Amino acid sequence: MPAVLVAGLLAFQSGCVERDRDGAAERGLFQAVLDRQAEAVLAGDREAYLSTVDPRADGYRDAQRTVFGNLARLPVDHWSYRVTATGDDAFPLPEDGGAGPRRVAVRAELRYRFEGYDPAPVRDVEYLTLTERKGRWYVSSDGDGDGDGGDGDGDGDGDGGRRGTQQLWEQGEMTVVRGERSLVLGVGRPEFDLRALADDADRAVPGAGEAWPRDWPRRVLVQAPATLERMAGLLGGPPSSYRGIAAVTTGEAGGGGGAPAERIVVNPEAYWLLGEEGRRIVMTHEVTHVATREHTTESTPLWLSEGFADWAAYRGVDRSPARIAPLLADAVRDGEVPRRLPTDEEFAFDGDADRLARSYESGWLLCRMVAQRWGEEKLVELYLAAGESGGGMDPVVREVLGTGMDQLTERWREYVRRELGGR
């Protein structure tokens, strides 16, 4: 190889190394800013927290004062960040025409845990803009990540939207109510409502515990956002997906080694339209999801996880099956007995509302049948085995109930026909 070419390649490689070193060093500066912010959260040090926030980003700084005040009310025992990407690898920043100080997009993983409620740290993704002023870096926005946050003046002065989900403590001044078995967080809701929610949750925990007699914390965290739109912001979906849904429990599927936390999120447009018994049923359903989370995996079909939660919620309720499953009862009386159990896709919130309701009713009747025919302990055993199976319910059903999935489905169809008064 010609010597001049070798020298050129060495110079090029040397330049790459220097740039990589510069990038790593700068990334270390961003990590240090977020580390200081995390330490301030854990120490409850408001001034240290605000020292990491851009002093010229007035709107964002005001919002962060509220965020810190909200976090100070919570039992935070872990809070940390890990920078995972910077620059365009994180997200594209809005154009500022080259004016103003230097800004960099940063994507970071946030891990946090609330003592007594989270068995393991919860993970979230933060899309942050950092701004350099006089050689020092500050967090100046968390609203540039979806392209419609910030005010576009280069100072990161906005407090607009973000990619992914938004935490409740970022939605405004928060009220915290502690129940005997619950922690209720609300924004834009009267304290009276939040205390009623705590009472609902406190009553639901024993009911869920009777249905699921396994080890679980028997404490729940409930979130009450101000609007349906704010609820959607917590859950990361469009508001239309949750309209008419009284409450949702969110969390990653667990399985082994300590499951991530669940949050029960209440729909302010639907939950408070329910009567006392309706709220008890809804809350027990959601608390049951919290109880079973550690044993719920991708292998658990939704007809079993949702059906079990409904079975737990309706235990002891003095209603006929036709009243609990009215849409399925109408179909059965018209001679339309379902031929199969619902698929996971049929439980999607953004699908047909009647189909969704029939899916829940079908899962409930299957679990009710198993509890009556084989016993409640076998129903719990079926749930546990499904989560551990790695996929495929036929071997699980054969092992636990001594019958095949096809035979179980036929038994369920006959049960549906009999219980709902079909011809």
* Cα 116 to chain centroid, rounded: 18
Cβ burial 257-280 (10 Å sphere, 16+ → b, else e): eebbbbbbbbbbbbbeebeeeebb
Residue 93 to residue 87: CA distance in whole angstroms: 8
Distance CA 309, CA 361 (A): 11
State the CATH architecture for 20-164: Roll (3.10)
What whole-number distance in Å separates Cα of residue 279 and Cα of residue 204? Answer: 10
Domain coordinates of the chain in residue numbers?
20-164, 167-296, 298-423
In the numeric block, which tokens belong to residue 92?
């594209």
Q: Do domains 20-164 and 167-296 have the same CATH topology?
A: no
Query: Does the pLDDT value for residue 316 go beyond 60?
Result: yes
| Residue 5 in this model has a pLDDT that exceeds 50 | no
Reported pTM = 0.85
Note the pLDDT of residue 148. Answer: 40
For the chain, give the percent of residues with pLDDT over 90: 73
Mean pLDDT of 200-206: 97
Helix (H, G, I), strand (E, B) or coil at 285: helix
pLDDT digit string, tens, across residues 345-390: 999 887 788 899 999 999 999 999 999 999 999 999 999 999 999 8
Asked if 359 contacts 303 with a C-beta cutoff of 8 angstroms, the reply is: yes
Return the structure tokens found at 185.
């967080």
Single out the residue of 117, 136, 181, 143 nearest to residue 60, CA to CA. 143
CATH of domain 167-296: 3.30.2010.30
97, 72 contact by CB (below 8 A): no
Report the pLDDT value the prediction gives residue 204, as an integer from 0 to 100: 97
- Of residues 382, 209, 399, the one with CA closest to residue 296: 382
Question: 74-120 pLDDT, tens per residue?
Answer: 999 999 999 999 999 999 998 776 678 999 999 999 999 999 888 88
Do the Cβ atoms of 90 and 130 come closer than 8 Å? no
